[in-house]
Amino acid sequence: MDKVILAYSGGLDTSVCLKWLQEKCNLEVVTFSAELGQGLDFDELRRKALDTGASKAYIEDLQEKFVREYVFPSLKANAIYEDRYLLGTAIGRPLIAKRLVEIAEMEGAKVIAHGCTGKGNDQIRFEVGVASLNPELKVIAPLREWSLGSREEEIDYAKTHNIPISATRENPYSIDKNLWGVSIECGALEDPWVEPAPEVYLLTADPGQAPSEPTYLEIYFEEGLPRKLNGEDYSGVELIARLNEVGGKNGIGRVDMVEDRRLGIKSREIYENPSGTILYRAREELEALTLDREMLHFKKLISRKYGELIYDGLWFSPLRESLDAFVNESQKNVTGTVRLKLCQGRCEVAGRKSPYSLYDERLSTYGAEDAFDHQAAKGFIDLWGLPMKIRAMRQKK
Ligand code: ARG
């Protein structure tokens, strides 16, 4: 019997996929589940996979790898999609795709499967990722091929096939969670005019209900990456978890947006990313202090492109690798400390300092120590405005 490696979360969709791959495709199913900070119960998940018919269940804690190889590079690039989305879900997909390929190679499987539908971005990220790493592997997406369709029919299928479903918490929303954020869609949120109910949010307090007393944070960065919080060393995983906690308490990191999926559909999305919002804000300040104007402005263009590559499933691409080389070079002097003030949904800068600061008080001061050559300004302005002056003179004639 041929083997398939299934990306398995233990939810209804992937459980139904597991059964379907055995029944309809006559495949031996090996499951793979990645702990990326969503909080998996390893024992329960393994039992569930095996009870549903898997021959073997891989479950791996990949948080450290996730942060080091995926989240941090995208953070250094300030990657962002459509000006708002910090790519929490999207940045986890290439790592999962890579592990699926590695496990398939280890297990001698020729097929990979996932539980994405035919409308979203995640199917693209998984499949383009797999194709980029091993073009020989085949991919099956049961929920895309299968004509069953509705949620109710899926539940019926699960019931008649003895798939254990947790009927206790029938969540009306579709939720994807990892260390880098939460993505929430479907249900009442499908109407973009409807305000999200308070219980939609999992990580963040309502800014209006958050403490009115501000929380101050000091984050120390080395070559663009956060290393210390309030003077204490932190690993990447610990730091992100801690910032999610403090940020969440202060109502930081909520996004409600209408976004353009790769397949042309607009969709309404709710995101929560307290740690990312805080780190992006802090890094912006540190870059403003340590990068020259040309670099700073050019890097903004890179953020957008880098964000699109992640969003569009092109992580394993020559362009992303080349942009990484540029971004790493740009971060050599992005070292220093940023002081932030969190309060009721706002994350504001309170101070910044760096041994590589390009800020020169003798140049910017209006006081007596002023070292700026005021006369040089006149010559500069004459030449800068010269083309406009010539044009204006022509028009007058
Ligand atoms: N729209 C987001 C993206 O494409 C989030 C997808 C979230 N998936 C989910 N099952 N809720 O990255």
Domain final residue pick, 124, 150, 171: 171
In a domain, 100, yes or no: yes
Distance from CA of residue 216 to its chain's centroid? 25
**What is the chain's length?**
397
- How much is the pLDDT for 168? 43
Q: Is 233 helix (H, G, I), strand (E, B) or coil?
A: strand
H/E element, 324? helix 318-330
- Whether 181 contacts 202, CB under 8 Å: no
| Residues 219 and 159 placed together within one structural domain of the fold | no
List pocket residues of ligand 1, CB cut-off 6 Å: 89-90, 121-122, 174-176, 183, 185, 259, 269
- How much is the pLDDT for 154? 80
Q: What is the CATH number of the domain that holds 26?
A: 3.40.50.620
| Residues 217 and 300 placed together within one structural domain of the fold | yes
In a domain, 123, yes or no: yes
Closest CA to 63 of 236, 184, 225, 204: 236
- Residue 270 pairs in a beta bridge with 184, 256
- Whether 130 contacts 120, CB under 8 Å: no
In a domain, 396, yes or no: no
Confidence of residue 213 (pLDDT cuts 50, 70, 90): very high
Domain of 87, in residue numbers: 3-171
Confidence of residue 162 (pLDDT cuts 50, 70, 90): confident
CA of 121 to the centre of ligand 1 (A): 7
- Whether 324 contacts 306, CB under 8 Å: no
CA of 88 to the centre of ligand 1 (A): 9
Q: Which two tokens stand for residue 12?
A: 């209804």
Distance between CA atoms of 219 and 20, rounded to whole angstroms?
49
Q: H helices within the chain, ranges in order?
A: 12-23, 42-51, 63-66, 72-76, 88-107, 122-133, 142-145, 151-160, 236-249, 274-290, 293-311, 318-330, 361-364, 374-384, 386-396
| Residues 128 and 216 placed together within one structural domain of the fold | no
Domain final residue pick, 171, 191, 223: 171
In a domain, 253, yes or no: yes
| Residues 218 and 101 placed together within one structural domain of the fold | no
Domain final residue pick, 127, 153, 171: 171
Q: What is the CATH number of the domain that holds 326?
A: 3.90.1260.10
| Residues 183 and 294 placed together within one structural domain of the fold | yes
Residue that is written with structure tokens 């986890």 in the block: 92
Q: What is the pLDDT of residues 44-74, one digit of tens each?
A: 999 999 999 999 999 999 999 999 999 999 9
| Residues 123 and 194 placed together within one structural domain of the fold | no
In a domain, 333, yes or no: yes
| Atom 12 of ligand 1, nearest CA residue | 90
| Residues 184 and 321 placed together within one structural domain of the fold | yes
In a domain, 229, yes or no: yes
| Residues 158 and 34 placed together within one structural domain of the fold | yes
* 35-44, 175-184, 369-378: the lowest-pLDDT one: 369-378
Domain count, the chain: 2
- How much is the pLDDT for 46? 97
Closest CA to 2 of 111, 77, 135: 111
H/E element, 51? helix 42-51
Q: What is the pLDDT of residues 338-352, one digit of tens each?
A: 999 999 999 999 999
Distance between CA atoms of 295 and 297, rounded to whole angstroms?
6
CA distance between the termini of the chain: 87
Residues labelled as active-site residues? 13, 93, 122, 174
In a domain, 387, yes or no: no
Closest CA to 314 of 177, 171, 164, 133: 133
| Residues 53 and 105 placed together within one structural domain of the fold | yes
Distance between CA atoms of 126 and 349, rounded to whole angstroms?
38
